[in-house]
Amino acid sequence: MKEYRYWQRDLETMPRDQLLAFQEYKLRSMMKYVWDRSAFYKKKFIESGIHWQDIRTLEDLGQFPLTTKSELRKNEISCVEQNRAPYANILCVPEENVSVIMSTAGTTGVPILMPFTAEDRYHTSLAFGTSCIRHLYSVGIEKDDIFLYVYNMGGAIVGGGAGFITIGGCPPNPPIPIIPGHIGKSKLLLQTMRTIGVTWLYATPSFVFYLGELATKMGLDPRRDFKLRKLTVGGEPGPIAIPEMRKKIEEVWNADCYDGWGQAETQTRAHECVEKCGGHAIEDMHIYEVIDPETKKSLPPGEMGVLVVTSLNGIGAPLIRFDVNDLVRFDYEKCACGRTSARITHIRGRTDDMLKVRSVRFYPEEIQKTIQAIPESTGRYVVIVDKDSMGRDTFMVRVEYRKDVTDLDTLKKKVVSEIKNGIGLSPTVELVAEGGLGRSAIKTTTILDFRKPGAREAYEEKIKLSKAY
Amino acid sequence: MEKHHWNAKIECMTREELTALQEMKLGNLFRYVMENSPFFRRKLDRAHIDVSHPVRIQHLLEIAPTTREELVEDQLSNPPFGSFPCVTLDKAAAIGQTGIGFSISGYRLTTMATHSDVNTQGALLMRNLWEGGVRPTHKVYVADDPRYNLILIYMTRAICDINAVIVYVANERSKRNAQFTARAIPPNHYFLTPTYAHYLAGVIKQEQEKPLPIQSIFGWGEPGFSIPTKRKIIQQRWEAISSSRPFRIFDIYAMSEAGVLAGACKKGYGLHGFEDSVIYEVLDPNSDRVLDEGERGELVITHLTCGAMPLIRYRTGDLVTLDRSPCECGRTHIRLCGIDRLADTINVAGQTIFADDVEEILHQEDQLVNFRIVKEGDSMEALKVLLTDRGILKSAETNLRKRFNVPVEVELRDVNSLPPYIHRNFRVFYPERNEVYQEIYNFQSTVE
């Protein structure tokens, strides 16, 4: 029988009408807060002809203009060029109140540097902030669990980022002991997991798969030779976006896997509960809207659209109507676990991840789902889009097959057929033996679009750098 | 007026006050471990320590020193933490492991810290940070990776408590961080290993047009800042990218299992210990004989304020000379001088040669790219060094022979067989352990 646990029961199971009223109450405070303190948002208010007092309800919020990543980036660059802190315009507190600065991963361009106060970290998904603890507690973390955190991409916020490492300075102190890990030196990591008896692993799905494979190569059985009982994954598309992935992870490790979706700039997250039916949004701390990617208008509940998030708790640099750029769908039905927050049930990926090949539009996640569902594949693939000598789009998918597969001809035909059925476009398929596509611990590259200017050179440089080690 | 010391009341205590404080804390420690640590209770019982009576420093000397091998054996017999910790898992805030490089058996000790330990260690580090010029609102770039290493957690506590700002960049994406982050948030200080300091300075030089306002760097994790030639090279590389004068380098001596043990002051002679938290002794490396101040021996430490895993008369495996003479900085706490790793000493033709001294000679070669000092067995007939640059083979051999007056063999190796470490320098090469090291330290990063 499933056990339902709540870190903050009152907030997590608040009746929906009360929750929405609570959001509106906090929204009004936040509007005044950024009006008074944020040069960036004061300007937005004025330019859009809105006063903070005009935003009283969730519906009113729709009038306020979106905040985009490119705006934040432009703002950052402009501040730096003026020899000011990159977050100077968005900062709502005196600079001496900034306690930690962390960056986004920068996978879509220049990283955004985000300032956090000590109070921010209390609430956020960083370092066992409240929203992080809710997740772990809801899926069963216990005082005697040994929690290994393995992220850190140059200090980026990915997966909660260095927040886990800065627990030294962060209230509240974590309720469970943490082993601060790091990607890389994976054999050492596996040794650590066995020696100490790690029961809980927090990493990206890519790394979790990679560790499983490596353990097997080392002659270990991930299912028997480790004490892992649960995994929480995040930092890149996981089981919420690609349900087929969960079974594979759980089979590898013989441990329950729970996904968490997070967003670095707003520090919001949505986490699965034991029901594993989507990620519960933290609606007492953020407002989530789903808007039409073209018209930017709010969509009715249950429709797929672009996620927009507004911070209700942020102190250092709260963001208002931040366009997350992910295409999502929410389910607003109360979950069997008793939580009343909306659940993200579908994540299609970033709007700018959409590919258009020979007039067919599709998202990489659609390919990923297809590949993950083919039992003969390891789940790894790369899509390579290019132009031929006649200037026509070419579309190739390289797929890794499991080492026990022998009938490659049949498999190839299957992959072509499944992808065509999925997205309406036939690819050229190349099969690659298991391991042949390399491994990445984090943010696996799956799309190579060489039609974009500079893309081929950037890729070749990356390969050169990775070999230089 | 700004204070010179973070905590002058403690850092400048008289010797009498320090001794009294130590004895008071030692008594508390004995009672604490008697109650909570079966491992240390046995040791205290064997030494007939009666905790109901006032405790003196001399009583400590009656307890047999604790070796790492003892702790390893204890953890192997009582996995995973052993019977020496004083707390159970539910009281732990963080768990770490020691590095493989420093364990003869290859086994890494599992370490633990309570929330109180994090506070205590942070408070000790604050003394070092203050001495190194860290002030409220300063941007401290934490450029090390946390890999099972609790020191980083303590460092971030210290930075927060001084109200400086942590900019966590780890030791990856050096170019990206140097290109953009350092420009956007100009760093005032860095916390990193000496090896990475050497590397990063070059990356920053390439990426930044103007010098940065970096006032100091704090190094830990390996010898480096204490090797004069290497330190000079690092100093020069950082002065070339820093607009601050003076630019300073501060060494922090810490061990994963023992926490922070000492830190440099501006005067630069030796590293000041924290005698309100640790008792320092030196022993003859080959016996339990206590050596006098000024004699070089193996550092032995006793924690006075540790909650999770207090260590009593723990043989650190490091060679030091202790110095209690007055320091111009005003601190009265003992200084640890000439720290070197016992495990890195090599017996060549009957002579003990320290790896630091070998490094000091090698760093005089401008073209030095990479090197390893070979250690095979308990004794070798010649000092053997592996280098990757043909151009310095002759001069390196000559200089080493001159310095140590022993046979020297210098071997040229392909640069790919000795890839440069950019994060940490494992300078001593054990041929019999090579396979283990190759496997475990095979870098798999995709983010540099």
Name the pLDDT band for B446 (thresholds 50, 70, 90).
Answer: very low
Write out pLDDT tens, residues A371-399.
988 999 988 898 999 888 877 888 999 99
User: How many Å apart are CA B265 and CA B268, to the nearest integer?
Assistant: 6
Looking at the DSSP assignment, which residues form a beta bridge with residue A286?
A: A311
Q: Strands A230-233, A200-203: parallel, antiparallel or unpaired by DSSP? A: parallel
Residues of A in contact with B181 (CB under 8 A): 103, 111, 113
Residues of B in contact with A111 (CB under 8 A): 176, 180-181
CB of A68 less than 8 A from some CB of B:
no
Write out pLDDT tens, residues A285-323.
999 999 998 899 999 999 999 999 999 988 899 999 999
User: How many Å apart are CA A288 and CA B54, to the nearest integer?
Assistant: 64
User: How many Å apart are CA A120 and CA A99, to the nearest integer?
Assistant: 9
Task: Report helix, strand and coil shares of chain B as percent, to nearest 5.
Answer: 35, 25, 45
Closest chain A residue to the Cα of B113, Cα to Cα: A177
HEC assignment per residue over chain A:
CCCCCCCCHHHHCCCHHHHHHHHHHHHHHHHHHHHHHCHHHHHHHHHCCCCHHHCCCHHHHCCCCCECHHHHHHHHHHHHHCCCCCCCCCCCCCHHHCCEEEECCCCCCCCCEEEECHHHHHHCCCCCCHHHHHHHHHCCCCCCCCEEECCCCCCECHHHHHHHHHHHHCCCCCCCCEEECCCCCHHHHHHHHHHHCCCEEEECHHHHHHHHHHHHHCCCCCCCCCCCCEEEECCCCCCCCCCHHHHHHHHHHCCEEEEEEEECCCCEEEEECCCCCCEEECCCCEEEEEECCCCCCECCCCCCEEEEEEECCCCCCCCCCEEEEEEEEEECCCCCCCCCCCEEEEEEEEHHHCEEECCEEECHHHHHHHHHCCCCEEEEEEEEEEECCCCCEEEEEEEEECCCCCCHHHHHHHHHHHHHHHHCCCCEEEEEECCCCCCCCCCCCCEEECCCCCHHHHHHHHHHHHHHC
**Which residues 132-151 of chain A have a CB within 8 Å of chain B?**
143-144, 146
CB contact (8 A) between residue B167 and residue A106: no
**Which residues 380-439 of chain B have a CB within 8 Å of chain A?**
419, 439
Q: Strands A360-362, B139-142: parallel, antiparallel or unpaired by DSSP? A: unpaired
- Quote the pLDDT of residue A14: 95
Write out pLDDT tens, residues B49-58.
998 988 999 9
CB pairs under 8 A between A and B: 193
CB contact (8 A) between residue B108 and residue A192: yes
Write out pLDDT tens, residues A332-358.
999 999 999 999 998 877 766 778 888
User: How many Å apart are CA A273 and CA A137, to the nearest integer?
Assistant: 9
Question: Which letter, b or e, does each residue of A214-233 get, where b requires 16 or more Cβ atoms within 10 Å of its Cβ?
Answer: bbeeeebebeeebebbbbbb
The residue ranking higher by pLDDT, A241 or A61, is: A61
User: How many Å apart are CA B112 and CA B292, to the nearest integer?
Assistant: 32
Name the pLDDT band for B447 (thresholds 50, 70, 90).
Answer: very low
Does residue A230 contact residue A200 with C-beta atoms inside 8 Å? Answer: yes
Residues of B in contact with A183 (CB under 8 A): 445, 447
Residues of B in contact with A439 (CB under 8 A): 444
Looking at the DSSP assignment, which residues form a beta bridge with residue A203?
A: A233
Mean pLDDT over each residue of chain B, to the nearest integer: 89
**Pick from A137, A257, A240: nearest CA to A202:** A257
Closest chain A residue to the Cα of B93, Cα to Cα: A177
Give the angle subtended at the CA of B125 by the CAs of B122 and B126, to the nearest 5°.
85
| Chain position carrying tokens 């580090």 | B125
Terminal alpha carbon distance of chain B: 44
**Assigned token pair, B115:** 């929330």
Write out pLDDT tens, residues B78-126.
999 999 999 998 888 889 988 765 455 567 899 999 989 999 999 999 9
Residue B287: partners with Cβ closer than 8 Å, 6 or more residues away: none
By three-state DSSP, how is residue B195 classified? helix
Cβ burial, residue A76 (10 Å; 0-12/13-18/19+): buried
Q: Strands A147-149, A200-203: parallel, antiparallel or unpaired by DSSP? A: parallel
CB of A106 less than 8 A from some CB of B:
yes
A443, pLDDT greater than 80: no
Indicate whether this model's pTM tops 0.95. no
Residues of B in contact with A177 (CB under 8 A): 89, 92-95, 112
CA contacts within 13 A on the Cβ side of A307: 28
CB of B352 less than 8 A from some CB of A:
no
User: How many Å apart are CA A7 and CA A128, to the nearest integer?
Assistant: 12
* C-alpha pair distances (Å), A106 with each of A70, A110, A349, B44: 12, 5, 16, 55
By three-state DSSP, how is residue B96 classified? strand
Give the angle subtended at the CA of A238 by the CAs of A349 and A176, to the nearest 5°.
130
The residue ranking higher by pLDDT, B349 or A174, is: B349
- Quote the pLDDT of residue B377: 84
Residue B34: partners with Cβ closer than 8 Å, 6 or more residues away: B40, B41, B44, B51
Q: What is the dihedral of CA A32, A14, A8, A305, to 10 degrees?
A: -70
Residues of B in contact with A187 (CB under 8 A): 439-440, 442
**Pick from B155, B242, B157, B238: nearest CA to B199:** B238
B342, pLDDT greater than 60: yes
**Which residues 173-202 of chain B have a CB within 8 Å of chain A?**
173, 176-177, 180-181, 183-185
Does residue A442 contact residue A235 with C-beta atoms inside 8 Å? Answer: yes
Residues of B in contact with A110 (CB under 8 A): 180
Write out pLDDT tens, residues A243-292.
888 998 999 999 999 998 888 788 888 999 999 999 999 999 999 999 99
**Which residues 102-161 of chain B have a CB within 8 Å of chain A?**
108, 110, 112, 115, 118, 122, 136-137, 139, 142, 145-150, 152-161
Left if phi > 0, otherwise alpha if psi is -120 to 50, otherwise beta: which for A254?
Answer: left
B354, pLDDT greater than 80: yes
Name the pLDDT band for B173 (thresholds 50, 70, 90).
Answer: confident
